[in-house]
Amino acid sequence: MHDSFVSYVKKSFKLIFEKPILFIPPLFSFLINGLVIMFAMYLVNKGHISFASRGIMLLVIIVVALLELFIASGSYNMFKEVVKVGQTSMDDFWLGIKKYAGRIFLGSLLIGVVVFMAIFILTFFIAKIIPLNFIIAGVLAISGIILWIFISLWTTVLVYENCNLSKAFKTSFSFVKRHFGLILIINLLRGLLTEIKGPNKNGGRNSLSSNNQMGKSLILESYLPINESLGAMGFITLVILAITTFFTLYFSLMLFIVYHDRRKGIFTDGLPEN
């Protein structure tokens, strides 16, 4: 008998606080993103962003994306060890970067290319059928979201099974097919709680944004008020960042717990060695 969703919620919270070492990689992520956001806010509040400043910010964002890739790779290996053997260390973090960063980068790149090509082709196709463009766009958007849910465990599978990309995507699809409702709920909650935006430039509130990947994206524009106090907005921004960083950790770990608990049913020819 598998655990229920409520049991996974409790187990994830318990495991996080029983193993405080799991907070170390997210702390790296929080500090890196916090510094970048504060730097961007400083530039915008100066009232002028030069071409050189934009170039520097672009370079910084690329570097941060790579650092986030390494942090995620190491964190996933720590999650794997803590759900399988009950213990982990920073050695698992560094080993995870070495073993999985390349495959996770290639998988993310593959998804990005497929999404870009699909949007490009479908946009051209929809433009040819103007009377039906809204209906077609809606159907395609829903189909895309469903497809993403089916492959949403690919990084979890890749690290847990130490497998190639093809097997990671196929196993994710098979697993979600068996447990679609549970994974849907987890992904919906993860999207809501890890994509909270701060106050916008007009003093209102931005809506919750949707995510692509791997977890949390760096959305700077919602944190850059020109006429607001840098100190006050900086504090609000860092609080929001801390909340989203925690829930990114929480739901990523929960997916490993769920997969660990329910993986046996998807391997008809015996469990793979990993």
**Residue 97: what pLDDT?**
97
Query: Mean pLDDT across the stretch 37-62?
Result: 75
- Give the DSSP letter of residue 49: -
Residue 273 lies in a domain: no
Torsion of CA 100, 106, 242, 3, to 10 degrees: -60
Residue 271 lies in a domain: no
Q: Count other Cβ atoms within 10 Å, centred on residue 216.
A: 22
Residue 72 lies in a domain: yes
Do residues 26 and 248 make contact, with C-beta atoms less than 8 angstroms apart?
yes
Give pLDDT tens digits for 3-21: 789 999 999 999 999 999 9
Query: Mean pLDDT across the stretch 238-248?
Result: 90
Residue 164 lies in a domain: yes
> Above 50 in pLDDT, residue 224?
no
- Confidence class of residue 184 from pLDDT cuts 50, 70 and 90? very high
Q: From 58, 55, 101, select the one nearest 76 (Cα to Cα).
A: 101
**Residue 169: what pLDDT?**
95
**Residue 205: what pLDDT?**
38
Residue 272 lies in a domain: no
Our count of domains for the chain comes to 1
Structural domain span for residue 39: 5-263
**Residue 145: what pLDDT?**
86
Residue 270 lies in a domain: no
Task: Supply angle C-alpha 37, 38, 44, rounded to 5.
Answer: 90
Query: Mean pLDDT across the stretch 260-270?
Result: 75
Give pLDDT tens digits for 69-117: 999 999 999 999 999 999 999 999 999 999 999 999 999 999 999 888 8
Do residues 158 and 107 make contact, with C-beta atoms less than 8 angstroms apart?
yes
Residue 274 lies in a domain: no
Non-local (6+) Cβ contacts of 161 within 8 A are 167, 168, 171, 272, 274
- Give the DSSP letter of residue 221: G
Q: How far is the C-alpha of 271 from the C-alpha of 274, rounded, in Å?
A: 9
Do residues 215 and 194 make contact, with C-beta atoms less than 8 angstroms apart?
yes
